[in-house]
Amino acid sequence: MTKIRSLMIFALLAGVFVQPAFAAPKGGIAMHGEPALPDGFTSLPYANPDAPQGGMLRQALTGTFDSLNPFIVKGNAAQGGRTYVFESLMARNWGEPFSLYGLLAQSIDVSDDRQVFTFKIRPEAKFSDGTPVTAADVQFSLETLRDHGRPNFKNNYSKISKIETPDDHTITFTQEKGDRELPLIIALMPILPKAQWAGKDFEASSLEPMVGSGPYKFGEIKPGESVTLVKNPDYWGKALPINKGVWNFETLRFDYYKDANATFEAFKKGDADIRIETDPVRWSTGYKFPAVDEGKVKLETYVSKMPAPTNGLAFNTRKPLFADARVREALTMAFDFEWANANLFNNLNKRIYGYYSGSMLSSQGKAADAAELAVLGDAAKTLRPDMLDGSYKLPVTDGSGHDRKVLHKAVDLLASAGWKIGDNGLVNDKGEGFAFTITIPGPEQEKIALHYQRMLQLIGIKVDVKKVDDTQFKQLQTTYDYDMIPVTWYNSLSPGNEQTLYFGSGGKTAQGTRNYPGIADPAVDHAIEAMLHAQSQEDFAAAVRAEDRLLVAGFYIVPFYTNDQWVGRWTRTGSNPPDKQPLPGFEATTLWAQP
């Protein structure tokens, strides 16, 4: 014992500490480097701090809802609650790739290895029922969301090995692995009031209004029809710089309609104040109505500086039919983008390449450098030369809708995988026909699915297109009960833990993830891990490019297209101009009602 005590004293005298090194507590944190906004900033750079307050913002949505809880698997949650009713310890500045600034927490203190991090909760922070936000609420939120919430919560929050709450306004988290993104993920965790959930089943879908600490409270709820949120007059955080010029309306209303045509008609009539248009044909031909000509509706184009959304038709590789990458590549070849763009989308779309298209994180046209090769490891040996050197390109057709040269290549590739054209179409050695179903959630995806159906019929493949309602579609997404479905992933300039839920091997069997194709590739898992533990921007970018390269090489989706952001806005709502918007583009939380 004496020897041990002597060693401890020597260590202290020598300046050797067993505790991790900490910098001074800060009001902001960045994933890499330092936050861009200085201490004492007065507002977010894309918000108007002098925006008028009051009025109502109405939005028209497609579908329905049967729950107000956005944090659980069960039910179809209404829009708005997550953004406007609930808050987190820190909040994003969308003008940066991934930086956070204090919200419920006034500061964060992080060890150099990011394994231990402490938040100081503002003493003035309160829930909308007037009760204070405490460390006990934060701990309750993590444990409840981890154990009863959506899979992404379990995936992230299970990494916390220890929680300490020395007082009501201090909470310290410890993680076992050096996941450098985890402090930021925890900082963005929605905070729930522990008292509200005493004796209640958190996993049960419910229309009972939930209590949050955010600027709005739930108002009138018409099940399946509309949700109204009202500004909390006693909102504790209204004076914070990060909230200046944000949350400007007194009332928010979300009305639900059957389909996109109905929501568009609601906008034309003035029953909705803004509309984000996703249909190129409607944008180019449908916005010629009197309110536009009279200047009452303004049409604006926003250019996102983020990676293009990854969208397309996903192959469910859990099904034997799509287990062979050669089959998936052949079916990717058979999709005639050029014909679809000209005939369905007025040539307004640009085709995406992979999962980070249009950004410096994309592997498109880039050979794997030494840093990326280190991440790929042995997987680099299995990649085709054109994938490894970045020369791979998606096929380009003549736009005829029946380009024989491209279709012939697809048929040859299918033959190498054991499928040949016979009297009854494409069949395998057992005489079984190549047939599958594309399931879509509504008429908006129908025209592209029917185009693809026609293309595949030219090479002997039988495809059914099946429409289901929004609730059914969400259920089959959860259980992976489909052959092929349309998918969209929104990747950022700072991808991280969500990538495990998008593309990690565990999602092949675990229900409720967003790994819709059923990807189970150890090399992809390794790239995601490298991304999470990267300590420099260079190593981080190399890991993301490696992930992108592997996913492109796996042919898990038939990639579709991207376009600019098109927004119709009644001029009774005010907005900063497009060139003053944040990195993602149009930001509805900064709108205001014109006096």
Q: Which CATH class is domain 310-562?
A: alpha beta
Alpha carbon of residue 502 to chain centroid:
9
Portions of the chain given CATH number 3.40.190.10:
25-34+65-212, 216-303+565-593
Read off the pLDDT band of 25 (50, 70, 90): low
Residue predicted with more confidence, 412 or 151? 412
Give tens-digit pLDDT for 573-584.
999 998 899 999
Mean pLDDT computed over 377-386: 97
Mean pLDDT computed over 223-241: 97
The Cα-based distances of 105 to 31, 89, 246, 389 in angstroms read 18, 5, 18, 46
Residue that the structure tokens 């203190």 belong to? 109
Give tens-digit pLDDT for 549-558.
999 999 999 9
Q: 204 phi and psi, to 5 degrees?
A: -80, 130
Portions of the chain given CATH number 3.10.105.10:
310-562
pTM recorded for the entire structure: 0.78
Read off the pLDDT band of 5 (50, 70, 90): very low
What torsion do the CA atoms of 189, 193, 195, 197 make, to the nearest 10 degrees?
Answer: -60
pLDDT value at position 152? 86
Mean pLDDT score of the chain: 93
Largest CA distance in the chain: 90
Q: What angle (nearest 5°) sits at the alpha carbon of residue 130, between those of residues 129 and 136? A: 95
Q: Is pLDDT at 423 greater than 90 in this prediction?
A: no
Read off the pLDDT band of 220 (50, 70, 90): very high
pLDDT value at position 24? 56
CB atoms within 10 A of CB 73: 15
Q: SS3 string of 458-513?
A: CCCCEEEEEECCHHHHHHHHHHCCCCEEEEEECCCCCCCCHHHHHHCHHHHCCCCC
Residue predicted with more confidence, 304 or 232? 232
- State how far the Cα of 51 lies from the Cα of 574, in Å rounded to an integer: 8
Read off the pLDDT band of 442 (50, 70, 90): confident
Q: From start to end of 84-225, where are the E strands?
A: 90-92, 99-102, 105-110, 116-121, 160-167, 170-175, 216-222
Give tens-digit pLDDT for 326-372.
999 999 999 999 999 999 988 888 899 999 998 999 999 999 999 99
pLDDT value at position 33? 87
Give tens-digit pLDDT for 97-155.
999 999 999 999 999 999 999 999 999 999 999 999 999 999 999 999 999 999 889 98
- State how far the Cα of 82 lies from the Cα of 149, in Å rounded to an integer: 14
Give tens-digit pLDDT for 457-498.
999 999 999 999 888 999 999 999 999 999 999 998 999 989
pLDDT value at position 21? 56
- State how far the Cα of 117 lies from the Cα of 89, in Å rounded to an integer: 13
CATH number for 216-303+565-593: choose from 3.40.1410.10, 3.30.300.180, 3.40.190.10, 1.10.3720.10. Answer: 3.40.190.10
Q: Worst-scoring range by mean pLDDT, 151-160, 260-269, 289-298, 523-532?
A: 151-160
**Cβ(191)–Cβ(86) below 8 Å:** yes
Architecture (CATH level 2) of domain 25-34+65-212 = 3-Layer(aba) Sandwich (3.40)
pLDDT value at position 19? 46
pLDDT value at position 17? 37
